[in-house]
Chain A
């Protein structure tokens, strides 16, 4: 109960310091191996943004934007996980990777090993640089209806 009230407190006494500094920004990347640890998929960004979107899509997203809002949740999970790794944040990230792999067509009862890393992007002088902040263990993931190991 105390923990829940602690989570609610920032809503009751908010800080409102939106965008006070532009901190390094996380990207979640993942890779897959088969059960014999042979590479199936090289490192790739989880949910990369599209090259462009139309004005119509922008307008529609005012009312309906579930995917992007889940992406924003992943960003805050990545920030939290880099600062303080927990089973909760790691599990949530792995679960979204699992769902995306299933939605991407990898169905059936195939098991694969999934690993993710947190890359942080920032500006140094006039260059954009990337740094790895976290590398997860390999998680056994069933690409069917089952859960994550």
Chain B
């Protein structure tokens, strides 16, 4: 995949994620409506591909105002990944020459790889993750399960032990999936399914759309630096 195609796909997928977030925010947050309407309009322009450089700079400006308004990201990790994609795309368009553009987009790909690998690493060094207790605790008392019935999974330790190891191994092998096209494709299907399950069980729907928006950078990165 060429860098131009990968960047365009990232812009479209990020725009979809931001449109979804903006519509949700407009329905639930009673202040800052003008900002969310602006972000919605800019996201539509980004999806269509009009004045992309200026649209991205506008979205960066809105993102900084929202960070100040909420004193941080509104939705933790998913917002952080959305901001990272946005800033890398803006840098790609603003930077003048090819090596710098590749650096900006390559940085995004590198961070996506790290997002899985580091998450796997910090889990596997924790004995509570290795024996399944951590995932039991998530279901038992954390704020994430979307219903009380789901807390019943805490009573299925064998299932949660298998799930814990499945998640840790998927996250840890993720960098090595870049060594083969088919392995990366299979890995991206698995990680998308992983985000989908997190959305169903823990209500983390924004992660699904924003992480998928980062996947074209990986496909380009693999073609350019690993297999190229």
List chain A positions with a Cβ less than 8 A from chain B.
Answer: 3-4, 7-8, 10-12, 14-22, 25-27, 49-53, 58-59, 61-73, 75-76, 80, 86, 88-89, 92, 99, 121-123, 128
Contact = CB atoms under 8 A, between A and B. Distances in A.
| Nearest 3 Cβ contacts at the A-B interface | A11-B83, A20-B122, A66-B28
Contacts, number: 143
Nearest to B195: A62
A140 to B, nearest CB: 19
Contact of A80 (B27, B72, B81): B72
Given A70-B28, A70-B29, A49 B146 contact: yes
User: Which size bracket describes the interface of B in this complex?
Assistant: 35 or more
Among B77, B126, B143, find the residue whose CB has the most chain A CB atoms closer than 10 A. Answer: B143
Given A67-B28, A72-B203, A25 B123 contact: no
A17 B73 CA distance: 16
A3 B68 contact: yes
A17 B67 CA distance: 21
A12 B115 contact: no
Interface in B55-70: 63-64, 67-68, 70
Contact of A62 (B29, B74, B205): B205
B84 A12 contact: yes
Interface string B202-213: 011110100000
Nearest to B63: A8
B140 A128 contact: yes
Tell me the interface secondary structure of chain B in the complex: helix
A69 B208 contact: no
Given A53-B147, A61-B199, A63-B20, A123 B140 contact: yes
Contacts of B73: 10-11
A52 B137 contact: no
17 contacts: A7-B72, A11-B84, A11-B87, A14-B80, A14-B111, A16-B118, A17-B119, A19-B134, A21-B126, A58-B199, A58-B200, A65-B203, A69-B24, A69-B206, A71-B143, A73-B74, A92-B70
Given A17-B118, A63-B20, A63-B205, A25 B71 contact: no
Contact of B123 (A20, A27, A52, A89): A20
B203 A20 contact: no
B67 A128 contact: no
